[in-house]
């Protein structure tokens, strides 16, 4: 594929998904960024805003295998990974794969299950493999998790540990639709099923090829230092107890490259960093107790940090 054709494919995919999930183009674009960067997404939102529909639409747009896991307090790790079952006919144990053996995984209400079960998902996200009965099995090359969680103040939820939060490239919120978008959704309810009637825009191989292209997006030293300035500020801010780790730094770099590619550029600019940084950074920080007394949130602190850090002038060679 030529560069222009590659960029056009991404635009067509976003347009395709938006015909099914109305009014959420920004969220669709951000999830596309995570998909191309090889990361995972955590959405914290209330039920009923279209999270499942969104993941199904993305899976169908790339012809990928979609699996949905409803996390509950009694869910076991084997319910995710699969189990080995003894076959009496051949006197051998046979592995029956669990729902993690898919391309696009919707982990619904992830914070309703126990930390032990969450750890099984953590291994899959971190190492792209699962372990059953001491045997490690590789997951598909395209393995993308979109997890949802209820706000922690809801009853029956477990706060996700920092180690697991750090495995998510982006943390997003879909929010309620606008009045106009909700009217369009109402008008669509008795129409044709756009999800079942639509075909794939990309293939799994296309996505893997685009991921390799994203890795070649040029990031100048000035933009890299801009990223480091923001990351360093999170480690020195008086209201932040735990700043962003080096894994977060690399995640931000990958997200910046993917966003530049989605915006049809082969080079990154400072605005890419400003746009994507809050979604990559906020969930990786641990705020001090005093921050809550001062009504400070992680998002507010990041906005303050970005506002006060000098924005570099793009290098000439990067924009030619």
Q: Is 102 helix (H, G, I), strand (E, B) or coil?
A: coil
Percentage of residues of the chain with pLDDT beyond 70:
92
Asked if residues 274 and 198 have their Cβ atoms less than 8 Å apart, the reply is: no
**Domain 217-319 homologous superfamily, CATH:** Magnesium chelatase subunit I, C-Terminal domain (1.10.8.80)
Give the pairing type, strands 92-97 and 135-138: unpaired
- Report field, pTM of the whole predicted structure over 0.85: yes
Q: What angle do CA 217, 212, 174 make, to 5 degrees?
A: 80
Cα 162 to chain center, whole Å?
16
**pLDDT-based confidence at residue 192 (cuts at 50, 70, 90):** low
Give every CB contact of residue 176 below 8 A, 6+ residues apart in sequence: 49, 182
Q: Please state, as a whole number, how many other Cβ atoms lie within 10 Å of the Cβ of residue 157.
A: 17
Per the listing, tokens 């899976």 go with 59
Q: Please state, as a whole number, how many other Cβ atoms lie within 10 Å of the Cβ of residue 212.
A: 8
pLDDT at 316 over 60: no
Where do the structural domains in the chain lie, given as residue ranges?
3-72+103-110+140-210, 217-319
Asked if residues 233 and 273 have their Cβ atoms less than 8 Å apart, the reply is: no
pLDDT at 1 over 60: no
Q: Please state, as a whole number, how many other Cβ atoms lie within 10 Å of the Cβ of residue 144.
A: 24
Per the listing, tokens 């996390």 go with 71
CA–CA dist 264, 116 (Å, integer) = 42
Q: What is the pLDDT of residue 313?
A: 81
For residue range 216-257, list pLDDT tens digits in order: 999 999 999 999 999 999 999 999 998 999 999 999 999 999
Output the DSSP codes for 290-312.
HHHHTT--HHHHHHHHHHHSPPP
Output the DSSP codes for 16-77.
HHHHHSTT-HHHHHHHHHHHHHT--EEEE--TTSSHHHHHHHHHHHTTPPEEEEE--TT--H
Phi/psi of residue 137, nearest 5 degrees? -130, 130
Q: Which DSSP symbol is given to 209? A: H
Asked if residues 253 and 233 have their Cβ atoms less than 8 Å apart, the reply is: no
Burial, 107: exposed, middle or buried (Cβ in 10 Å; 0-12, 13-18, 19+)?
buried
Q: What is the mean pLDDT of residues 193-204?
A: 73
Give every CB contact of residue 181 below 8 A, 6+ residues apart in sequence: 22, 23
Q: What is the mean pLDDT of residues 185-199?
A: 71
CA–CA dist 249, 305 (Å, integer) = 15
Give every CB contact of residue 246 below 8 A, 6+ residues apart in sequence: none
CA–CA dist 184, 118 (Å, integer) = 37
Q: What is the pLDDT of residue 319?
A: 52
Output the DSSP codes for 156-196.
T--PPPHHHHTT-SEEE---PPPHHHHHHHHHHTTS--HHH
Q: Hey, which CATH number is domain 3-72+103-110+140-210, 3.30.1330.40, 2.30.40.10, 3.40.50.300, 3.40.190.10? A: 3.40.50.300
**Mean of all residue pLDDT scores within the chain:** 87
Alpha-carbon separation of residue 156 from 38, 50, 76 (angstroms): 31, 22, 17
Q: What is the pLDDT of residue 152?
A: 59
Percentage of residues of the chain with pLDDT beyond 90:
42
């Amino acid at each position: 594929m030529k560069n222009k054709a590659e960029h056009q494919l991404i635009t067509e995919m976003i347009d395709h998904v938006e015909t099914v999930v109305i009014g959420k183009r920004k969220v669709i674009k951000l999830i596309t960024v995570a998909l191309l960067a090889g990361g995972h997404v955590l959405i914290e939102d209330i039920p009923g805003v279209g999270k499942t529909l969104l993941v199904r639409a993305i899976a169908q747009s790339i012809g990928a295998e979609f699996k949905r896991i409803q996390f509950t307090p009694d869910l076991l790790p084997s319910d995710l990974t699969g189990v080995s079952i003894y076959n009496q006919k051949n006197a051998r144990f046979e592995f029956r794969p669990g729902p993690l053996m898919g391309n696009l995984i919707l982990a619904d209400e992830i914070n309703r299950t126990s930390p032990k079960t969450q750890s099984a998902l953590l291994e899959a996200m971190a190492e792209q493999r699962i372990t059953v009965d001491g045997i490690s099995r590789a997951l598909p090359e395209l393995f993308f998790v979109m997890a949802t969680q209820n706000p922690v103040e809801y009853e029956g939820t477990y706060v996700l540990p920092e180690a697991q939060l750090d495995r998510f490239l982006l943390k997003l919120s879909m929010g309620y639709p606008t009045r106009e978008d909700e009217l369009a959704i109402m008008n669509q309810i008795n129409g044709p099923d756009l999800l079942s009637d639509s075909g794939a825009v990309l293939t799994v191989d296309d996505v893997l090829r685009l991921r390799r292209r994203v890795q070649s997006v040029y990031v100048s030293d000035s933009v890299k230092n801009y990223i480091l300035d923001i990351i360093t500020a999170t480690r020195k801010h008086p209201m932040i107890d735990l700043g962003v780790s080096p894994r977060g730094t690399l995640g931000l770099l990958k997200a910046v490259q993917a966003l530049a590619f989605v915006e049809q550029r082969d080079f990154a600019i400072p605005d890419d960093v400003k746009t994507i940084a809050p979604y990559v950074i906020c969930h990786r920080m641990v705020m001090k107790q005093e921050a809550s007394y001062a009504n400070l949130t992680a998002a507010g602190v990041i906005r303050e940090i970005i506002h006060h850090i000098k924005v570099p002038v793009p290098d000439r060679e990067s924009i030619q």
